[in-house]
Amino acid sequence: MKRVILILSLINCFFSYAIDNSKKVCVLGTGYVGLIVGACLADFKNQVICADVDVKKINKLVQGQIPIYEPGLKELVSKSLINGNLKFTTDLALAIQTSDIIYIAVGTPMDEDGNCNLCYLNSAINIIKDNINGYKIVINKSTVPIGTAKEMQKTFDTQAKFKIDVISNPEFLKEGTAVNDFLKPNRIVIGSKSEKAIEIIKEIYEPFVKAKVPMLITDNTTAEIIKYASNSFLATKVAIINELSALCEVTDGTINDVCKGMGLDDRIGPKFLNPGPGYGGSCFPKDILALLNTAQLKGLNLSILKTAHESNENHKINVSNKFIKLLGNNVKGKTISVLGLAFKANTDDVRCAPSITIIKNLINNGAHIKAYDPEAMNNMREILPQVEYCSNVYDVIDKTDGIILLTEWPEFKEIDWEKVKSRSSSKVIYDCRNILNISKLKSFGFEVKNIGNAEVN
Ligand code: UGA
């Protein structure tokens, strides 16, 4: 099958390049954002080359193997490999030279001190300026510190042989629903000073123009701020809800009803009001810290964002300590079952997952951890090798002293607790995503606690 895809894609590539007039696009970086952008633009019938220096990754992608778990992505990539609209290469120079439009979607990971590490971005900038062979548009999708695009434009203006227009086009896709988020965006933000570049990007995004997706045209710096502002605002919303859930626990309230009541106010809206074990992922924690650093460099103290970050850090530890309390204030020598490791459902991503902090705290208190996650165990093995990883949900629950649910995977809602009740020595469950049916569990003799609900305390 893999060989068939490869042969068909080579044949198709040859013919499509010979007769097709569509946009020639390259995407530098094949991480979450790069792969989604590349696959979706290929689906819009552009000729897309995704380029990455990681030979292993590219070899897999050429065969239609996707290195990340993202619903719908494999199908999209396979389709475009077969029809020839999508190619993968490690030859970044060639990808740049054969394209008119260059997307940058490289990682901008967080340094130990909370700064955004721009080494991959700088390599991309260098390789573009050194290999340019005509007018190009560089569209930046990577989340970069405010002012980066301006600096990039200066570098290209002074050091590249041909004109390059830089567009800042932040990505708002969410892991787990990324394909749908790209294909059906709720807004497009384009930051650029160049009328010509703006017209060309509008042509690439013609399907969005036709679908009347709101499009905000602004300058590069403002586009960069919009990205950070959106993530920081959403992270703060989650941090507030998590604090309110703690308040509900000590005041006899019910957080789910609080969220419903708040969400019905259309100035607030119902989204991103779900309490949990703390926000995580590769974006919220990193972006809020990067914004704080930028502000600090400019002599500004963004105290609300600083507090949101601290609140989230404390919340993860509080959740872990509450669970220990639930187990009689002592987990030494006890076996704990962890349901879910990914930072949220429908992804295998464990970057900054609250599960890491919570498990580490339990281990530090002497617990033995068994864990199960439908997709994230391979990634977590590298971070927490001392955890015992189980191959299914029933094995993890078997002979345990306590269960903590950390990721809202749909399959956890389907657990047959009646079947489990005789196998698990402890009946303590801490549902940190509020997805389990508490009354049913209670009827099977389980002692359940969830987030922000005094009634189940
Ligand atoms: C986030 C943004 O939502 C995207 O718009 C953005 O494009 C992306 O970052 C990025 O910058 O690349 P993502 O990190 O995939 O997307 O995840 P979210 O769905 O935003 O969730 C972030 C964290 O908040 C997760 O740990 C999640 O469990 C938590 N969360 C979210 C809650 O605890 N409660 C909620 O109600 C919502």
Q: Which atom of ligand 1 is nearest to the CA of 177?
A: 15
Decide if pLDDT at 279 tops 50. yes
- Are residues 167 and 224 in contact, defined by beta-carbon separation less than 8 angstroms? no
The pLDDT of residue 365:
97
Window from 1-15, 67-81, 99-113, 243-257 with minimum mean pLDDT: 1-15
Kindly report the pTM of this predicted structure: 0.92
Q: What are phi and psi of 254, to 5 degrees?
A: -130, 110
Which pLDDT score is estimated for 394? 92
Q: How far is the CA of 299 from the centre of ligand 1 (A)?
A: 28
**Residue-level pLDDT at 3:** 55
| pLDDT for 361 | 98
- Rounded to an integer, the average pLDDT of 88-106 is 97
For the beta sheet containing 388-389, the strands, ordered from the edge strand earlier in sequence to the opposite edge, are 388-389, 368-372, 335-339, 402-405, 428-431, 447-450
pLDDT digits (tens, 9 = 90+) for 416-445: 988 888 777 778 999 999 999 999 999 999
Residue 12 banded pLDDT, cuts 50, 70, 90: very low
Average pLDDT over residues 360-378: 97
Residue 412 CB coordination number (10 Å): 20
294-337 confidence digits (pLDDT tens): 999 999 999 999 999 999 999 999 999 999 999 999 999 999 99
Instruction: Identify which of 283, 343, 346 to mutate to test ligand 1's pocket (most ligand atoms within 8 A of the CB).
Output: 283
Q: Quick one: pLDDT band at residue 211, thresholds 50, 70, 90?
A: very high
Residues 6 or more apart in contact with residue 246 via CB below 8 angstroms: 315, 318, 452
pLDDT confidence tier of residue 97, bands split at 50, 70 and 90: very high
Which of 51-55, 86-90, 109-113 has the weakest average pLDDT? 109-113
pLDDT number for residue 16? 44
Mutate to test the pocket of ligand 1, among 141, 238, 258, 282 (most ligand atoms within 8 A of CB): 238
Active-site positions read 283
Atom of ligand 1 nearest to the CA of 274: 36
Residue 104 has pLDDT above 80, yes or no: yes
Predicted local confidence at residue 457, as pLDDT: 46
